[in-house]
A and B are shown apart, each in its own frame.
Chain A
Amino acid sequence: MSALPLPPVAAFRGRGGRAVRSLAEDKLLLASGAVCVAIVALALLGPLLASGSPSRTSILEANLGSSSQHWLGTDALGRDIFTRLLYGARLSLAGPALIIAVSTVLGTGAAITAVWVGGRVERVLNRVLDVLFAFPALLFAILVVAILGTGLVAPVIALSIAYTPYMARVVRSVARRERSLPYIDACQLAGLSSWRICSRHILPNVFGVVRAQASIAFGAALIDLAAISFLGLGVSPPAAEWGLMVANGSTALLNGYPQECLAAGACIVVTVVAFNLLGERLAVRSEGRR
């Protein structure tokens, strides 16, 4: 279980999912998609937009409120918070992106293999996934940090493994339904190879669900990874990363300067809401089309 709720996409059934609406009509999908694209674009282009350096300290400018010079104010070392958020976006988003890419490939591969081959292979794979499931993701990440040391590598490896069963579970149920459809028999009778049936027919049909679950899992991975950095076990200072910024800002917050904490926290929340909504709408679409 993840440190934070990672709902399987099936949980969203029944929320306006009955009628398939056209893409243009699904305003929530468009809006959340646009926000996601904007966030990613800011992360990629951010350093071009920011004027100063994220690590330029200035004792005289410590804990300033927002002004025309420092839009979101400065932190306890006088660094510009807005600039650090922009630079931090790369580290904050790259980790979860990597985690989701790896766990999606592993989970989808394992699920389709299990469903296709069946028998003992399926039982063993299911058992492995169950045992992995018994590890809370965050706890697993902390354990792997204990073994490999602090930094981004250990938690990214750990969370990639920890998220695999989540992806596999969702894919498995859809793949199983797909495998039982008559057209798969037809493909087999037509003499298509297993690889071809799985990659050209089953995979495209589970893709809708994979996409939706990946989007939701991205938000959860972002939170888990930020939590690791918040605990001081991930990215180490003076690097800019949202979770680390919340931790850094907590001292200033106690002294009455909440700007860094709140700004970094808001970035995390907005990103997660956008990706959750996107995933939820994608799930409704893929469910409705069926």
Chain B
Amino acid sequence: MASAPSHGSRASHRGALAAGRTLARWLVGPLVTVLVASFVISAALALAPGDPVAQLLGPRPTAAQIAVTRHELGLDRSVPVRYWDWLSGAVHGDLGFSIVHRDSVATLIGPRLGTTALLVAYAGVLILVGGVGLGILGGALRRMSPLVAAITGLGIAIPAFVAAQLLVSVFSLRLGWFPATGAGSGLADRLWHLTLPAIALAVAWAAYVAQITRTAIRDEDEREHVETARARGLTAPVVFRRHVLRNAAIPIVTISGLSIAGLIASSVVVESAFGLGGLGTLLVDSVTARDYNVVQAITVALVLVFVVVTTLIDVLHTMLDPRLRRGAERA
């Protein structure tokens, strides 16, 4: 946030107040959201029906064995105590123990994190280039508008797992350009392996971003100040760049950011479709195997990333739109 110009003590007092509010909105608010979410996740998993210990000890464990294991895993303590233990451990990088993999959750997550991050980043670039590009095309060129509307209308309706099958069927099996499964090793190989997954992940969101971009530009195009600029004799590219695009940028940035936040959840499906073995695959496997510590760590991590990204969008949004900035100061 830009600092408020201070004229005397009242203004600076207002400035300090505004800074406090901003801090609350961008730091405390998201932090509280993550804490509440992580507590709910922890409590819900703790109270889930079924006993993970039974699975760990195999058939017919004695009551004493069960009691000992429950104690070792900390399952005999109350929900708030367990949450507190988990939280203080998590802050230090200790995410608990996987009863299925018999390994610490952190070591399980570490190597898989890279695949997921690369996939989401790759898809994010595709969305920004493809989605915003297509939207600008549809917004700027009146004749292209209906075509772009049709493409985006269709694209939005294609789920990532359907897109995945289509892409594999055409580009892996028919044309043989890209591998159908696996994540590869080494950066170039990994990017090659992740191309189809990234496209599958990006399709619906790129279409959505394109739709919003196109609508934002067309809305802006009809505004009076644009008419005035045209009447002043400015050339079409100048009017478009200075008057249309600059104002349309706000919704475009917001929606692009939101789309990248949304990718984080969708990546689970795409990883599963392509057998990528990232965080998403681990999450689904752990849900099926009722490996709650892994489920908890991954869901909380994804919520954390999601909240951070949406907060960053909010910050960016405020910086782009001077009206909001002033609103924040006055509020």
In contact, B153 and A258 (Cβ under 8 angstroms): no
B261 within 8 A of A: yes
Given contacts A2-B262, A13-B215, A150-B288, contact A273 B33 (CB under 8 A): no
Complex CA–CA separation, A281 to B14 (angstroms)? 46
With contacts A233-B287, A276-B153 taken as known, whether A139 is within 8 angstroms of B265 at the C-beta atoms is yes
As a 0/1 sequence over residues 261 to 272 of chain B, the CB contacts with chain A under 8 angstroms (1 = contact) are 110111011001
Tell me if A4 and B266 are in contact (CB < 8 A).
Answer: yes
The chain A residue with its CB closest to the CB of B251 is: A11
Known contacts: A11-B215, A13-B219, A146-B292. The answer to whether A136 contacts B180 by CB under 8 A is no
One of A76-84, A97-105, A197-205, A247-255 contacting the partner: A247-255
Interchain CB contact under 8 A, A146 and B290: yes
Instruction: Give the size of the chain B interface in residues (CB under 8 angstroms).
Output: 62
Which chain B residue shows the least CB distance to A147? B48
B-binding segment of A58-66, A164-172, A224-232 = A224-232
What residues of chain A lie closer than 8 Å to B272, measured between beta carbons?
A: 230-231
Determine if A26 is an interface residue (Cβ-Cβ < 8 Å). no
Whether B173 pairs with A254 at a CB distance below 8 angstroms is yes
Main secondary structure of the interface of B (DSSP, over half): helix
Question: Would A246 and B283 be within 8 Å (CB), given that A256-B173, A258-B169 are in contact?
Answer: no
Please, which residues of chain B bring their CB within 8 A of the CB of A276? 153, 156-157
Contact partner of B268 (CB less than 8 A), chosen from A131, A139, A223, is A139
CB of B299 within 8 A of CB of A143, answer yes
Interface size class of A (residues with CB under 8 A): 35 or more
Most B-side CB within 10 Å, residue of A138, A150, A223, A261 = A223
A272 to B157 Cα, complex, angstroms:
5
Q: How distant is the Cα of A93 from the Cα of B50 in the complex, in angstroms?
A: 30
Chain A residues close to B by CB (< 8 Å): 1-5, 7, 11-15, 130-131, 134-139, 142-150, 219, 223, 226-227, 230-233, 243, 246-247, 249-250, 253-254, 256, 258, 261-262, 265, 268-269, 272-273, 276-277
Return 25 A-B CB contacts under 8 Å, by A number.
Answer: A1-B258, A3-B160, A3-B266, A4-B156, A4-B205, A5-B156, A7-B156, A14-B222, A130-B33, A131-B36, A134-B306, A137-B265, A146-B292, A147-B45, A226-B161, A227-B161, A231-B272, A246-B165, A250-B168, A254-B168, A254-B173, A262-B169, A265-B159, A272-B157, A273-B157
